[in-house]
Structure 1
Amino acid sequence: MIYRVLGEAAMLVHFAFLLYVVFGGFLTWKWPRMVLVHVPIALYGLAIAIVGWTCPLTYVENWGREQAGQSGMEGTGFIEHYLAGIIYPEGHLRTLQAVAGVVVLLSYLGAAVVWRRSARRRRDHGTGAADPMTATGQSRT
């Protein structure tokens, strides 16, 4: 029972990891410091895709499932096993990876715009130019 739970947990963590790699950059719009967490993880995901490494979670899931008497992913990786033919058509892994990369880049371009606007608002607020309370002569205290 515990091995089956381990295999299932590894699968869920794997899905969460993939979602975070692709969409985690959007979290930086709200929490800019998340970039310190997301960039290394996204680079690791990119390295796995480019080099063809097997993610350690794949090993954990396969081991847990095999210990529970189930079959593992049998020579395929997580993406090929769970997503190929379901989320995207067979044979289009590179296309999916390119789309994921574009989503990550767009998330960071959007973050740059949000951060720039936020810095401008802070700068304007610091001078009092954009503060409606000081424009009407009211005190902020």
Structure 2
Amino acid sequence: MGFRLLADATAVFHFLFVAYVVTGGYLAWYFRRTIWLHVLAVVWGFSTVVFTVDCPLTTLENWARHRAGEAGLPPSGFIDHYLTGVLYPREDLQLVRMLVVVAVVVSWLGFWLRGRHRQPGHAVR
């Protein structure tokens, strides 16, 4: 039971991480210091897709699932197993990737524009 719980908790954390990669730049509009965390998350997230780097969260989930007597994720990984073909059609994968890039770029552009229009002396969170 403990390994199953660890695997499920890892999957939930992985979902939250993917959501943060997509939306964290908008969060930085209000909590400006979090932009650096978002930049790191985006670099890591995109590197796992572009360079097919193994994600430690996928490795942890697989390890815990195997220890719980369950099948692990397929070699294609977390996104392919939980998102592609589930939240959007498999044939739209490239479109979804482009939309994620657009969402990140727009969030960073908005972050920059909001920073330029801030009042001098305004507190930074």
- The yes-or-no answer on 1:87 pairing with 2:92 is no
User: How many matched pairs?
Assistant: 122
Most deviating of 79-88 and 69-78: 69-78
The residue that corresponds to 2:101 in the other structure is 101
Q: What secondary structure sits across from 2:94 in the alignment?
A: helix
Q: Which has the higher contact order (CA 8 A, sep 6+)?
A: 2
The whole-number CA distance in structure 2 between the counterparts of 1:54 and 1:21 is 17
Once the two structures are aligned, what percentage of the paired residues are identical?
Answer: 38
- 1:69 partner amino acid: G
Unaligned runs of 5+ in 2: none
The residue that corresponds to 1:122 in the other structure is 120
The whole-number CA distance in structure 1 between the counterparts of 2:5 and 2:45 is 25
- The yes-or-no answer on 1:70 pairing with 2:78 is no
Which of the two has higher C-alpha Rg?
1
Deviation at 1:84, TM superposition (A): 1.3
Deviation track 1:94-131 (CA, whole Å, cap 9, x = no partner) reads 3222211110000011111211111xx227x9xxxxxx
- TM-score calculated relative to the size of structure 2: 0.90
The whole-number CA distance in structure 2 between the counterparts of 1:103 and 1:50 is 18
The whole-number CA distance in structure 2 between the counterparts of 1:49 and 1:91 is 17
- 1:11 partner amino acid: A
- Deviating beyond 6 angstroms after TM superposition, the runs of 4 or more aligned structure 1 residues are none
- TM-score calculated relative to the size of structure 1: 0.80
Deviation at 1:93, TM superposition (A): 2.5
Deviation track 1:16-72 (CA, whole Å, cap 9, x = no partner) reads 110111100011111111112111111111111111122111111111111111111
Q: What secondary structure sits across from 1:92 in the alignment?
A: helix
Name the Cα RMSD after superposition: 1.5
The whole-number CA distance in structure 1 between the counterparts of 2:74 and 2:93 is 18
